[in-house]
Structure 1
Amino acid sequence: MSKVALGLAGAGGVAGTGAFAAYQGGLFSTSTVRETLTKEGYELVNTDEQFKSFFTEFKSDGEFMKEVNKHKQAGETLEGDDGTKGKLALKALCSSYLDSKDKLGNAIKWCVLRIKDKKPDGKNWITDDGGSDGADWKSALTKSKAAMVSHGIEGISLDTQSDQDYSKIKDWCLKNKKLPINTKNKTTQRNVSSWCSK
């Protein structure tokens, strides 16, 4: 085989590898975003209250506003909106993402429920400050320490003191409550609901 032929074969191999990676990455996926999310156990934002809440939470994000503004009514300004108009634009935005084949990342960011969006059965989430002097976080650490150790939660050991180290459970809870609800996060969701509520 000539050097030119070898070079062309090598280039074809690289292009083929790139095309395969693009296929694996979903660029040529035949599934819609909705089908992918459903298959992976994500829960979609679906009530007016949820759309309003998500709009007000994300409206300070420039990228979000750029996307949601594509779906506002003519002449509307959403920047100062309390969510009344924004929820409708977000609903339209999410619908367009869910029917697409290439907007999975944004759909996960703005159109699916996170663990914190579902109240634990018969309980309430511990507030970020944890009540008076972090009392709720201290109590949560005392109650959940053994389970957290058995699950290998970083920074938690049987020697962890609830009075001094309660920020460790607080930090873990605040971080993990932001994860999306899906099949992969089921165990984490169960633990967050148990350890981060009262």
Structure 2
Amino acid sequence: MNANNARFLLEQYMNGKDNVKPNVLESVFTKHADVVFDIKPNNIYFPDVLTGAKNISTEMFGEFHDKFKDVKSYYVDSDVESLLDKKAIKQQRWLVTMTERETSNTRIGAGYYSWYFMEEGTDIKVGRLEITILEMVSFAAEEDNWLTNLQSNLLDYPWVSSCDPFKTFERYSELETIDRFIK
């Protein structure tokens, strides 16, 4: 497993997840992969475990996009080469931004991914993904295009630096814990 292969799989994961491409998402995982959730806040729900690439792509993101739009997810300060340890990347920080369809509120979440890669035939894929959701904040943004402006300033999707333009977070006390997590 090399850093380029890992980076490609991580980019494909975000592409499939954020852009509602179940086939792309399914291709990232082994046939019998597991996605395990550790969810700290009580305002978001996923099952504790999802098993199988097909089930992961269907269950994990099908209903999700019915509830949320404008979804963009980012890896924060993630130098894949330095994070990759044999066939794993642990404690990779992430940030997700989206709009709630029902309320039009902005929702921002943060946490960690831990990736475990496996061989499947001649390919390397994700055999296990552990997702820790540390925070998930819902709030009414004061500006009409606040989320769009934030997302358009994060240019290297899905990779961002904690130095990227997160100053706008400081305007919202609701985002204090996420702002600290990013910095």
Same fold (TM over 0.5): no
TM-score of the superposition, structure 2-length normalised? Answer: 0.29
Give TM-score, length-normalised by structure 1: 0.27
Determine which structure has the larger strand proportion and give its number.
2
* CA radius of gyration, larger in: 1
Question: Which is richer in helix?
Answer: 1
